Amino acid sequence: AAELRQKIGCINIVKGDYAKAQAVLIECITDQKEEYGDASPLLFTTLYNLGVCLHHMQRHELSLSTFLKALDSLNSTKDDIRIGYVQFWIGKEYHEILDYSRPIGM
C-alpha cells in the first residue's frame, strides 16, 4: 500500500496537483511510521518527494524541515548520491528563505 501511495503522490506532483500529492504522501509517511517506525524502507523517498512537493507549493520552511528529516533518515547509510540530492534541496530552500526575508535594497 505504501509503494502505491508513493507512486500516486509522485504522479500528482508531476500533474501539478500539489495539495493532493501532499495529502497522499503524508498518509504514506504516517502508515510507514506505524508499521516500521523510523526503519521504513520507503521513509527517505517519501520525505524527499514531500519536500519537493512543498517546494513547489512555495512552502519553503516546511520543505526545508522535510528535507532535513529525509537527510536524518539517511544517517545510518553511506548513500552519497541520495545524501547529495538532499543537500542540494536543503541549500535551495535556505536560498529561497533568505532571499525572501531580506528587506529590499539589502
Q: CATH no. for residue 10?
A: 1.25.40.10
The answer to the question of residue 106 being in a domain is no
**pLDDT tops 70 at residue 103:** no
Residue 34 lies in a domain: yes
Cα angle 103, 56, 46; round to 5: 125
What's the whole-model pTM score?
0.86
Supply the pLDDT for residue 20. Answer: 97
Tens of pLDDT, residues 37-72: 877 888 999 999 999 999 999 999 999 999 999 999
| Confidence (pLDDT) at 105 | 58
Structural domain contains residue 47? yes
Instruction: Please state, in angstroms and rounded to a whole number, the distance separating the CA atoms of residues 87 and 49.
Output: 14
Residue span of the structural domain in which 75 resides: 2-101
Return phi, psi of residue 41, to 5°.
Answer: -65, -20
Average pLDDT over every residue of 78-92: 90
Domain count, the chain: 1
